[in-house]
Each structure stands twice: as structure tokens, then as C-alpha cells.
Structure 1
Amino acid sequence: MRKILKIARLELSVLFYSPIAWIILVVLFLQAGLAYFDMLYSQETQQQLERPLTVLTRVMFAGEKGMLSSIIEYLYLYIPLLTMGVFSREYTSGSIKLLQSSPVTTTQIVLGKYLSIVVYALIAVLMMSPFVLSAYFSIDQMDLTFVLCGLLGIFLLICTYSAVGLFMSSLTSYQIVAAISTLAFLAFLNYAPLLGAKYDGLREITNWLSISGRAEEIVNGLLTSREIAYFILVIVFFLSITILRMVQLREGSSVLKRIGQYAALIAVLFLFGFISANPKYIGYYDTTRINDRTISPNGISLAKRFTEPIKLVSYVNVLDQNAAYGDPVNRIADMSSFDFYFREIPQLKMEYIAYYDSIPYLRLDSNETFLSKAEKAADALNLNFKKLLTPEDIKKMPFIAKESKMFVRFFEYNGKREALRMYDDMFRYPREGEISAALLRLLEGPAKLGILSSNGERNAIDFSEKAYSFALNGKSTRSSMINQGFEILPVKIDSLAQFQGVGIIIADPAKPYSKEELSAIFQYIDAGGNVFLLTDPASSAFLQPIVNKLGLKFMDGTLMQESEDFDPDLLRIKFAPDAAKNGFDFYDGAISVMKGTVGIQFDQNNNGFERTVLIETDPKDTWNKTEKYDLALEKVLFNPISDKRVKVPTAVRLKRKTNAKDQLIYVFADADYMSNSEVTRFNINSMNFNVISRIFKSFTNGKFPVSGKKEKATDVIIKADRKSINIQRLLLLIVAPISIAIIAAVILRRRKRK
């Protein structure tokens, strides 16, 4: 060990007598500082503008523009310059022969030289400490563990790059050749996945070889035994082949023996690599304070309930717009999207089945057929068309037809199957809420939600403006109830007594209910059934008998609100004070949008219900218009003579104990509240969808949608003001680099004199 330390000390002194080592340190320091202060200045500006900040530690150091992320991006350019002369200069000067003839082993030589670079890497990482210290005093409750583990990722990456560079330096006496070779091999390690992406079996090997994203994973808060093992294995491998090569040259080994030794080393590398990458043996440590890189505690407890093998099968229609997500080239990235569940369910396996079949929006050019288009799509997706399932095969799988033959996944467990879809939003992939909902449905079945369909009520089937398909049955809509654990079932009044779901929706009937139909509805309510009732001015009279039984009454007329930008019958209403106390707590100033709304009044007899007003109008700008009007022909304005400003509820919750459980009835005086036109509105930021989701969540006692609630971040305030930031920037971006440069100049000058 003493000899290794002496060689390391000597090599380190040589390293720092070279301007390259100093230049790299200064460049790394400046790069880190520029990225750090750019983010700090930006976040402090946002805070001054009173815009909410979140997870500042991660924003400052990780993500796309964080300090550590910016270092990783260019680090591969610096290390080859550092390692190119480690052995090359020994060859050039001839001192390698003196080393080999001295009383030190080849192993000691290699380890001593490598240790010097490890110490340099440690110095480079320690050079980042001023910025960590600055953040510690600038960010309230900075997540220090997160940053320190991120620095560990940088250190491991430098050490790994250096091991590769050391080997390349041992191959040639030309330093520039060693540098370029190192750069080329690091490029290979980064782009290795592309080489085998198309082929099963080879894909997993080339993906394991890839160094791309491993340090980023650690920097972004997830420390795993897989990544640590990768760095250690690559370092040990390149040090071993460096030692082996030098020993072989000294001993003059035969070509066959050399090949055998290298093959044995490679076999050992892949053996341990395979073991370390097996999900069963991977250990995880979420370095974030709020466990941001782990699914929620609720999700973890759900995952632990799966004890048998479970599969996630992706059915890829090559003609679907989402087919590229099932492309073999994209297979590893696609599977990695579910990594956070693989951790908790290691027996989870993913399979891919490709097929072709007609889809609703398929368009054919004049010169192509359905078959030729499918062949062309398969070729573009790197799939063998002859191996695809045909439309005849798909007919035997009716569950695919129910999904409109789109790209869809199914969890399969103990003979059950549940769909997991892709969504038409910026994320595309299912996230924890949707995955947990599908898993819980596998175990316990869906929450059945009925929608009355006897008298022309609103439906959840078509996509007209007034229908409820987006909110309830939109398969490509992430927040749709069907993707959050519910099954939406049309229910006829004559079968209402047999319905065993969590609740029913009664929305905007086109004609009045008969005495027999009302009796059936009353029986359902008396039995403790949950109800979501929605009306419009035109249908309020048809629903009046039902709300009378509940101790409510719909007012005559339509509520109006003064506005310069919208029709007066479009209400933008804040939530009532009691809403937040009863599960409808949103940010300050949050509103609901209601169009064509009537007021709700309370009778003295509450029929045993506890009443809670969720939404109510503001009398400052809202009035009730009882006269007929036509907005297409006239401009409706408040008339102080005939109109009266009102403060009335437009959404009410009724609650009582029935059959040892809470019965919930929601009455909304606007049937458009969850219509397709309203939930897709883009010109007003409303809470309509959130309210709908919480209503149905209460119907299931919190079971669906599945909660993925986590602890909130605490590092959301910047303590430093603009003046102190500018002072820090002056010290760390100007004074510190100049000081390092002066120290380097003095040392190099003294060396030159000697």
C-alpha cells in the first residue's frame, strides 16, 4: 500500500505541475458557478414577482438546468485531457521501462496512478462546496442530503471516465491519440443502446453497457445499487485490463492466452452486471427529503399486496398514433417509465404484442391499401410485418376492440385483466394515480358509477357538447373517471333497485318522471344510495319533486353575472367558506364555472340531512333574471327596477347516516358543470374537473381516485436578497477563479525554475 501511495503522490505532483489540470479545475468551477447563479438569480426574481417556488434544491442543482446537471453535460470533454498523458508520457520518455524494472508490481503502478486521479476527482468535487455552502445559507431548509448524493454521482462519473482514460493512455505513446480514443470510447458508452435497440436480448446488453443517464439518475435524487455497481464494475474492469495488458507485454503472452484472459474478464463483468441489474437484487435510496423519486406511501402499500407474478402487456397497433412508444428502439425507455413500480413489485414483467387492425381515424392515400399502409408502418417501427397479429387474431381478443384497437396496455394478474392507457396530454404516459387505480381494480374491482338513462338525461357515451364522456368515459383523458378506477354504467329506472354501485348521476332529464319512476328514485335514496344531481333551468321543474324530498327547492329564473368578456349567464363563482372544511379546499381565488344556472333554496325541513353550501353567488355582481331572454338577439344587463341581486347557493352537499354509513347527495344547479364543453374549456381556469373528482372520491370513501399524496416540499423560500446574491457572484465567479489562477501560476513558475 505504501508503494501505491508514493506513486499516487508523485503522479499527483506531476499532474499539478501541468497547466491542464489547473485549467480543468478553473473551467469546472466557472461552469458550476455560472449555472448555479443563473438559477439562483432566476428563482429569486420569481420570488420577488410573488410567483410560487417549489423544491428549490432540486431546481438549483438537478433537473435540466441545475448546476450538477450542467457539469455532467460537458464532463466527458475534460477527463480525456486529464488522463491522456498518464502512461503515454511514460512511453514517450522511456521511463516506463524504469518503472517496470523497479521493485514495484504492475498492479501497484496502475493503482497508484489511478489513485492520483481519484484524489484529483475528489478535489474537483470539493471545489463545488462553495456553491453548496452558498445554497445552504440562501435557501430556507435546503435538502443537503440530496446535494451531497448528487456530488457523489459526479465523483463516480469522473472516476469512471478516468479509468477508461487510463486504459486508453496505456495503449499508445501519443497523448492526443489517447485523448481522442478516450473520447471515442466514452461516446460509445453513451450511445451503446442504439446499437442493439432493435434486437431482443442484445438490447438489454447494450443498455447495461451505456453510461448515459446513470449519474443523472443519482443527481436527480435516486441512488441505486444498480448504478453504484455499474460504476464500480466499469472502473474495476478497465483497471484490470490495463494491468493485464501491461503484464502480458512484460511476459510476452501468446495471442490465444491474451484472448482467453480478456474473455474471462468480460464474462465476469457481464455476470456481475446481470446480477446487479436484476430487479430482485436492486436496492434503492431516495435522496430527496420528501421521497420525491418514490411512489407515495399509499402506492407502496398497494404494491405490497401483489405476491404472485404479474404482467403488463402492451398491445401495439402499428397504425395507431402512439405506436412509436412500442417501437423496439424505444423499448428500454418505455419500460423505464414504470421503474418506480418495478422497485415495489419486482415480479412485474413487461411484454409487447404488435398487431395491425383498422382504427377509427385511419386515412388511406389514393395509391395505398390498408395492408400496404400496415406494412409500411411496421417497417418504420422496426417490426417484422409477418410476425404481427392480424385482424383475424384480434377478433379473438374482444378486450382490444373495446379500446378502439389503439395502443393499450393491460395488467394481467390471477386471471384478471385491467387496461392502462396512454393519454392525450403533455405527459402521455400513465402516472402513479392511473397505475394505482388499475392495480386496485385488479385486486378489488372497479367502483361502479351509474348514470340514469331513462328520460333523455345527459349521457357519458357520445362526445357532443352537453354529454359527460370526457369527464366520465374519456379513455384518452387522464383525469376521466374510467382511468381513475371507476366503471360508468347506464342505469334504467326500473333496474335502479338492483344497482349495487357507489352512486348514481341524475342529470338534466328531457321530460318529467312518472309517479312510478319517482317512487323508484325515492326508494334508492331512502336505502342510502349516493346521488349526484345536476339541473338546468329547463329541467329544474322535472327534478323539483326529487329535491323537495331532500329539503331543497330550485328558484325560478336564471342567474346572471355582470361581465365585459363573457355572456351574463356564464358564472365564475368562488367556493363558499364551508367548502374547504368539507374536502373542497383549493388555492385562494379558485373558481367554478357554471352556465345556465338556477339558485337553490333551503326548506325548513332538512329530512335528516346535514347541509353544506359548496358554491354560492356573490351579490355584488350576480342577480336572478326571471323574465325570458335571448342572448342571441339582445344584450342582457342588470335592471335595478325588476332584477334583484342575490347571494344563493348553486351547489349543495347533503349528508346523513343511513344503514351505518354516510349517505352523500350533491345537488348542482348547472347540468353543464361536467359537460364536455365545460371540462375542456381553455379560456377560464376553473376547478370543475377537480370538484367532480372529489365528489366521486367521496362516493367511494376515498378509495378511488387512488391518492398519491406525498409530503410537501419545504425548500420553497430563498432567504438571500438580490444584493447578497450579487456579492456572492462577485466573490465566487471573479475573485475565486482569479485566486486559483494565481496559485496555479505560482506553482507552475516554481516548477519551471527547478
Structure 2
Amino acid sequence: MRKIYEISKTELQTLFYSPIAWLIIIIFVFQISLAFTSALDMRVTQMMLGYRTPMLTQDLFANPAGGLLFNVQNYLYLYIPLLTMGLMSRELSSGSIKLLYSSPVTNTQIILGKYFSMLVYALILIAIVGIYVIFGCCVIENVEWRWLLTGMLGLYLLICTYAAIGLFMSSLTAYQVVAAIGTLAILAVLNYVKMMWQDIEFVRDITYWFSMSGRSTSFLYGFIGSEDVLYFLIVILLFLSLTIVRLQACRQKATWTTSISKYVVIFVITVALGYITSRPVMKSYYDATTTKANTLTPNSQKVIEQMDGGLTITTYVNLFDEVGQSIAFPRFVNMDMSRFSHYLRFKPEIKLKYVYYYDSIYNPSLEQRFPNMTTQERAERLMELYKVNRKLFLKPGEVDKLVDLSGEGKRFVRELVRDNGERTFLRIFNDFEKLPSEAEITAAFKRITMKLPVVGFLGGHGERSIKEDNNRSYSAFVNYKSFRPALINQGFDVEEVTLEKPLPAHIRILVIADPLQKFTEEEQRNLEQYIERGDNLVIATEPKRRDITSSLLERFGVKFVPGILANSGEYSNLTQSRPMIGVKDISELYLLDGLRRWGAVVSMPDAVGLEYSTDKGFHVTELLATDSLSWNELQTTDFMNEEQKATFDSNRGEEQRRHVTGLVLTRNVGEKEQKITILGDADCLSNGELSSARRGVRASNFTLVQSLFFWLSDGEVPIDVRRPVFPDNNLLIGGDDMGWISVVFQWLLPCFVLIFAIVIWLRRRGR
């Protein structure tokens, strides 16, 4: 150890008596000072203008678009090769390597001595970063200091890995420039190797593990994974071992076959260690953020805890469904698997499988681009263009022996199957994100783990249907599979039911949506029986059908305001209802409270106002209401007819005031709380309204759907994936302080380093 220390000390003296080490530090300090003060000045300005400044720790330090730690990560790629290029090349070119060979030191001691000098230099760089981190801890209230320490650890491991690679490349040549270029080349390969040979199943796991891309990024986000830590350590040992073997070959004049065999053994051991440490059961994790932002939410963790036995997630990819090609084609398999890494953390026995096939689907674009071709010819052409192995793909009909995908349109889909036979589908969606989020994934897990609320949609009286081919359809928010907020994608099971006989016990939520006919006496008795047993209910009606549902609403002390709600705006028949419920009223309706804070509304065409009393045994809370400029129009019946334009006329009994358009009612029935929702418009949940976009109207009707059914299901689904708010949202400095902060960091600190370097250099020359 003494000899390693002496070699390391000599190397550091040589390094700091040369201008390159000091020049790198000076440039390093100036660059990160400029970036840090610019970002800090921007946040101070925002705070002084009255804007919110949330997540300041991430914004200033861990933001990919200008955060200090990310800037440092980007700079290291160029700095470290310049430092390491002379570690061994200088010895080889000057001939001093012969002195080392003749001295009583081993090859391992030489290499470790050289490498330890780089570890010390890396500590100096991290110490410089620590100056900014300490300053951030002083000026950011409730700073995420554990997160910052984790990010600094990731940067240190990255520098150490770069140094090991640079040391190896320096041992290969006597030319320092060649060593630096070679180091950059190796770093480039290690960053892009994850995209190489991913079509070959035997090779892709090896190349994917070898990739350095993103390894330190997880640290910068405040997350430590054992796989990433061990990756850096294994790669460091790999290149140090290769350097030692290289030195032995030069020193002992070993044959090339002996050296090659040693290289192969080292590589095989590295691959074996990488494979073992990357297995889910071998991994451990630490989330340094106070809100556990890199971890599944507690609700998701509870679902996984209740999932006994194994789980297999099989991804079915149709060659003709071009959406899935960029998600789970063979070259993207490892990247796709990483999307489930947070779930593998808590359930490492999850198995991920991929099935590729081709079969006809509705794809007019594909038929237009490849006309006059059979299914087989079109498939062969696509396989040739995508350069995929034809043996991977099942032929039409073969996939049907494994699973029935007809209900999914044979598009990209995943099937979740437990060992006990419970199964469900996990889909992608027709929106900007496409891939399912934690809410949808956990909802699918929950569906096959426990019994969830079943929603019954009443039929038999011309009600709004949940079938996609019905003009009065509710399919979008119920079972439209490509719509993310649809109930079927959020964990609900849905059924169409009638009141010809008592409703089944498993129906816990009943939806009565705009019936066109009155109920018979027997149907009324069955409905009353359902209400008395304490299960939940949704009633949505239209002004034109008030005579049909008025008797039903009287049961709850609710009646209609005469007329149709109107306003004097561009859309005279469109009621922009605003959420009235806050967290203090009903916490389960948190989504609506958020909608209110965002300034969004629920659009309700042809709505009717609601009035209520509280003498029916229910606690009544206003859910939605208009502004005070709306009135109940009593004359106009056709708002599309300009000759019948709605105008307010108080002489005819019209009232311009705030009108309630949605109510929630609660009461205790036995040991459970009964929840009832009444809406003065049925169109607000329809396919047409959910997909409508009007100028100047910020409508978010699907938020109403998710919020209501979360409340009606007693918080079971949709999954609540809310996280605590980061507390670091306040700076303890103001605009007047930025002047001296900029001077200190941008000028005084770099100048101090420059003066210190000059003093060291002059003392060296004096000796």
C-alpha cells in the first residue's frame, strides 16, 4: 500500500505542476458558475414577479435543461480524457516506464497508484461542486439535501469510471492525443452500445447492460439502484484489469495468445457479474427524495403486496399495427422492459414475454402504401424493410391458439396473467403519451388481484348506451379502449342491466342516463329496493325528459328549475358549470378541486337547473354550478335557430342567477355510506361532448368522470397516484443579492483558482 501511495503522490505532483489540470479546474469553475447563477437569477426573478417556484432543488441542480449537476455531467465527457491521456502514455513516450519495470513494484501497484491519483482529482472536482451545493442548501428553504448528495455520488462514480477507461487507453499508446481520442471513442461506444445488436436475443442483454447511458442520470434524480452502483464498480475493475494485463504483456513479453486468453477471461467474468447483478431479485434501491418521487405510490405498493403468486405480462405485437413497432419490436425489448422496473422492484418474480405475429387489421394507410398485395406478401415486405427475423412472427391464426385478441382489434396489447388464472388486458391509448401510466398499470394489477366495483348501466327505456354503435352512446368514458380515462381502463367492470328483476348484489354503482320512457311499477319497486340496500347511484337527465325523471328525483328532495339554462355568450345553450366542491367538503373528489383551481369547467349543453331540500334524510352538497350571468330560458326551445335567439326576460319569470347543475347526496345505510350523484345534463358524459373543443371554453369533462367514479367506488379506482408536494419552493434571497452572488461565483472564485495555480507554478519554477 505504501508503494501505491508513493506512485499516486508522484502522479498528483506531476499533474498539478502542469497547466492542463489547473486549466481544466478554472474552466470547470467558470462554466458551472455561469450556469448556476443564470438559473438562480431566473428563479429569483420569477419569485419577485409573484410566480410559484416549486421544486427548486430539482430546478437548480437536477434539471436536464440547465441544472447544475446535469451540466457537470455533460462537461466531464470532455475533461477526463484530457486528464488521463498522459497517465501511461507519458511513461511510454519518455522511456521512464523502464525505470518502473526495473523498480521493485508490481504492475498492479503501478496501475492502482496511477488510478488513485485520478480518484483524488475526482474528489477535488466533486468538492468544487459541493461549494454550489452548500450554497444551495443555504438559500433554498427545505432543500432536498439527500437528493443532492446522491447526485454528487453519481458524478463521482462517473468520473472514476471515465478515469479507468482513460487509464487503459493511455496504456495502449505512447501518443497522448491518440489516447485521448481513444478514450472518447470508448465512451461513445459505451453510451450507444445499448442500441447495437438488439435484434439478437442472445446478445442484446449483454450490450444493453454494458451501456453507460443513463447510469448516472438516475443518481441525479435522487435514486440509487444497486445495479447502477455495481455497474460502475464492475466496469472500473474491468478496465483496471485490462490495463494490468496490458502492462504484464509489455513487461514480460507475453505471447499474444496468452494476452488474448486473459482478456477473454476478464470479459467473461465481467459479463457474468453484470448478468447476476442485473437480475431483479438481486437489486436493492434507495430513493433519496423526501416525497419518494422515484418510487411507486403507496396505493400501488398496497396492490402489489396483495398479489400472491407469480405474474406474467405478455406483450402481443402485430406487424401490421405500426404503433407497437416503436415500443416493443425486438430492438426495443430491453427499453420496454425498463418501463416496468418500478413494479419489478416490489415484485421481482414478474415475467415479461413478447409474442410477435402478423394478421389483418384495420389500417387504411398500410393498404394504400402496399396495394394489391396478399397478407403474406405484405408481411414479408414489412419484415424486409424493418430488418427483423421472420422466424419470430406467428402466421395468421397461430396467435389465436394462445389468446383471443379479437376484442382488442388485434392491435398492440399486453395480457396480464396470474398463476391462479386471473387475467386482464393492459392497453396503449390514443393520446400524446400513448403508454399507460402508473394509474392504468396498477388498475390492471388491482383488477386481477381483488374484487372491484361493478358499474351497471340501466337499459330498457332508451337510456344512453355503452355500445359504440349507438348514437346516444356513453362508450367513450365507459369501454372505449383507446381512451385513457375510460372506466374499463381504470379498473372498473361494466354491465348493462334492467329493472325487470331485482339488481344483482355485485352491482355497486348504478347509472341511469336520460331514460326516454317511464318506469313500470315493478321497475320502480326494484329500483327502490336497490336504493334501500345502500348502493350508489348516478342520475343524469335532460330538460326535455324532465317529466320522466321528476318523480324519481322527488325521492331525493330534488326538483327541476323551469326552462333550459342559457347565457348571452357565443354558445347560448352551453352551460359552463364550475366545480363547487373543495377538499374540505369531500376529499375523494380531489380531481374536481384541482379542476377548479386550474380554471377549467364542465361543459353541459342544454342543461337544466336543480333545486333541492334536505328533508329526505340525505346530506346534500352542491357539485356543479353556473356563474351568476346564466338564466333559465323559458321561451326558446331551438337554440340553433337564430330567429329564436335566447334573450333574458325577467317579465316572463326568467331568473338570472347562479344555478346548480350537479348535486351529490350522502347518507348512512347500515355500516356503509350511500352516495348519489344527480346531473342536470346527460350530454356532458357523452362521446360527442368528451371529444368537443370550443373556442374560449376550457372544458375537462373527463375529469368529472374520473372524480365521480373514484368517489362512488369509495376510492378503489381510478388509482390515486397523488404524491406529496415538494417542500422546497422558496428562496431565502432576493433580487438585490444576485449582484454579489454573480460576482463571487463568476469572477472571484475562478480568479482565486487562477491565482492559486500561478503561485504553485511559480514555486515549481523556483525549485
Band of TM-score, shorter chain:
over 0.9
Deviation at 1:687, TM superposition (A): 4.7
2: CA distance, partners of 1:361 / 1:44:
52
Counterpart residue identity of residue 691, structure 1: L
CA–CA distance in structure 2, aligned partners of residues 37 and 476 of structure 1? 45
Residue matched to 1:88: 89
Which runs of structure 2 are paired with 1:244-643 in the superposition (5 Å)? 244-324=245-325, 325-363=327-365, 364-365=367-368, 366-396=371-401, 399-413=404-418, 414-462=420-468, 467-495=473-501, 497-498=503-504, 500-563=506-569, 566-576=570-580, 580-583=584-587, 584-585=589-590, 586-587=593-594, 588=597, 589=599, 591-603=601-613, 605-606=615-616, 608-618=617-627, 620-634=628-642, 635-642=645-652, 643=654
TM-score, structure 1 length as denominator?
0.95
Going from structure 1 to structure 2, the CA distance change for 1:400 and 1:39 (only over 3 Å counts) comes to: farther
Q: Secondary structure at the match of 2:408?
A: coil
How far is the alpha carbon of 1:356 from its aligned partner? 1.4
CA 1:426 to 1:391, structure 2 compared with 1: closer, same or farther past 3 Å? same
3-state secondary structure, aligned to 1:708: coil
Q: Of 649, 660, 680, which residue of structure 1 is paired with 2:691?
A: 680
Provide Cα deviations, 1:641-673, integer angstroms capped at 9, x if missing partner. 332223332111121222432221110101122
CA distance in 2 between counterparts of 1:152 and 1:251 reads 38
Per-residue CA deviation, residues 270-315 of structure 1 (Å, 9 max, x unaligned), is: 2222221111011100111111000012212221223422111000
Moved more, 513-522 or 225-234: 513-522
- For the structure 1 residues 198 and 49, does the alpha-carbon distance in structure 2 shift closer, same or farther, using more than 3 Å as the test? farther
* Counterparts in 2 of 1:726 and 1:453: CA distance versus 1, 3 Å: farther
Deviation at 1:495, TM superposition (A): 4.7
The one-letter amino acid paired with 1:713 is: F
Aligned to 2:42: 42
Following the alignment from structure 1 to structure 2, what is the Cα–Cα distance between the partners of residues 500 and 386? 46
Contact 1:327 1:382 in 2 (8 A): no
Larger deviation, residues 145-154 vs 365-374: 365-374
Return the alpha-carbon distance in structure 2 between the equivalents of residues 592 and 198 of structure 1: 48
SS at match of 2:674: strand
Question: What's the secondary structure of 1:573's corresponding residue?
Answer: strand
Residues 327 and 381, structure 1, Cα contact 8 Å, conserved in 2: no
Root-mean-square deviation (CA, aligned residues, Å) is 2.2
Deviations 1:604-656 (A, max 9, x none): 641x22222222334x3121112234322333232243322233321111212
For residue 351 of structure 1, report the CA deviation from its aligned partner: 0.5
Quick one: which amino acid aligns to residue 604 of structure 2? Answer: M
**Mean Cα deviation higher: 524-533 or 51-60:** 51-60
Matched residues in 1 for 2:283 and 2:34: separation?
36
Contact 2:536 2:674 in 1 (8 A): yes
Seen in structure 2, the aligned counterparts of structure 1 residues 685 and 397 have a Cα distance that, compared at 3 Å, is farther
Deviates more, 1:724-733 or 1:319-328: 724-733
TM-score, normalised with respect to structure 2: 0.93
Residue 535 to residue 53, structure 1, CA distance change in 2 (3 Å): farther
Look up the equivalent residue of 2:352 and give its one-letter code: M
Distance 1:392 1:688, change over 3 A: same
Amino acid paired to 1:30: F
- 1:214 is aligned to 215
The answer to whether the 8 A contact 2:509-2:712 is kept is yes
C-alpha deviation, 1:187, in angstroms: 1.1
CA contact (8 A) 2:8 2:113 kept: yes
Alignment check: 8 A CA contact 2:636 2:646 kept = no
2:163: which partner in 1? Answer: 162
Q: Is the 8 A contact 2:667 2:674 kept in 1?
A: yes
Report the CA distance shift for 1:46/1:501 in structure 2 as closer, same or farther (over 3 A).
farther
1:43-79 CA-to-partner distances (Å, cap 9, x unmatched) read: 3344344443332212222242222112223422221
Deviation at 1:373, TM superposition (A): 2.7
1:114 and 2:123 correspond: no
- Residue 724 of structure 2: SS of its match in structure 1? coil
Deviation of the 1:425 alpha carbon? 2.5
Q: Is the 8 A contact 2:80 2:162 kept in 1?
A: yes
| In structure 2, C-alpha distance between the alignment counterparts of 1:526 and 1:624, rounded to whole Å | 34
| 2:19 aligned with 1:19 | yes
Residues 69-108 of structure 1 mapped to structure 2, 5 A cutoff = 69-108=70-109
Report the secondary structure of 2:172's partner residue: coil
Once the two structures are TM-superposed, the CA of residue 122 in structure 1 deviates from its matched residue by: 0.6
Partner of 1:739: 752
Aligned partner letter, 1:697: F
CA distance in 2, matches of 1:380, 1:471: 38
Inter-partner Cα distance in structure 2 for 1:400 and 1:249:
63
d(CA) in 2 for partners of 1:735, 1:381: 57
Is the CA contact (8 Å cut-off) linking 2:146 and 2:222 kept in structure 1? no
Distance (Å, rounded) in 2 between the aligned partners of 1:579 and 1:544:
31
My pick for the range that moved more, 262-271 or 533-542, is 262-271
Q: How far apart in 2 are the matches of 1:658 and 1:381?
A: 61
Structure 1 741/352 Cα, relative in aligned 2: closer, same or farther at 3 Å? Answer: same
Distance 1:277 1:654, change over 3 A: same
Residues 49/311 of structure 1: CA separation in 2 closer, same or farther (3 Å cut): farther
Q: In 2, are the aligned partners of 1:465 and 1:677 still within 8 Å (CA)?
A: no
Match of 2:658 in 1: 647
* CA apart distance, 1:238: 1.3
Amino acid at match of 2:162: Y
Between 1:680-689 and 1:133-142, the stretch displaced more is: 680-689
Query: Is the CA contact 2:666–2:674 (under 8 Å) kept in the aligned structure 1?
Result: yes
Amino acid at match of 2:35: A
Q: Distance in 1 between matches of 2:577 and 2:50?
A: 24
Listed as ranges, the gaps of 5+ residues in structure 1 are: none
Q: Judging changes above 3 Å, is the alpha-carbon distance between structure 1 residues 454 and 465 closer, same or farther for their aligned structure 2 residues? A: closer
Alpha-carbon distance between aligned partners in 2 of 1:103 and 1:387, rounded to the nearest angstrom: 59
Shift of 1:391: 2.5
C-alpha change, 1:241 and 1:529, in structure 2 (3 Å) is same
Contact 2:29 2:749 in 1 (8 A): no
Range 686-695 or range 127-136, more displaced: 686-695
Deviating more after overlay: 268-277 vs 348-357: 268-277
Q: CA deviation at 1:592?
A: 3.0
Residue 446 of structure 1: CA displacement? 4.2
SS of aligned partner of 1:665: strand
Structure 1 pair 682/293, CA: closer, same or farther in 2 (3 Å)?
Answer: farther
> In the superposition, relative to structure 1, how do residues 49 and 422 fare at CA in structure 2: closer, same or farther (>3 Å)?
farther
Q: Which is worse superposed, 306-315 or 628-637?
A: 628-637
Unaligned runs of 5+ residues in structure 2 are none
1:574-594 residue CA offsets vs partner (Å, 9 max, x unmatched):
333677511334143553332
Distance in structure 1 (CA, Å) of the matches to 2:286 and 2:126: 21
Between stretches 378-387 and 475-484, larger displacement belongs to: 378-387
Quote the offset at 1:466 in angstroms: 5.2
How far does residue 256 in structure 1 lie from its aligned partner after superposition? 3.2
Counterparts in 2 of 1:466 and 1:381: CA distance versus 1, 3 Å: farther
Query: Following superposition of structure 1 onto structure 2, how do residues 687-702 of structure 1 map, counting pairs within 5 Å?
Result: 687-702=700-715
% identical equivalent positions: 35
Q: 1:84: how far off?
A: 0.5
Separation in structure 1 between the aligned mates of residue 403 and residue 281 of structure 2, nearest angstrom: 34
- Greater shift in the superposed pair: 298-307 or 155-164: 298-307
Alignment-mate amino acid for residue 548 of structure 1: E
**What secondary structure does 1:522 align onto?**
helix
2:736 alignment partner in structure 1: 723
Answer whether contact 2:461 2:516 (CA < 8 A) is retained: yes
Q: 1:91 to 1:519 in 2, by over 3 A?
A: same
- How many residues align? The count is 750
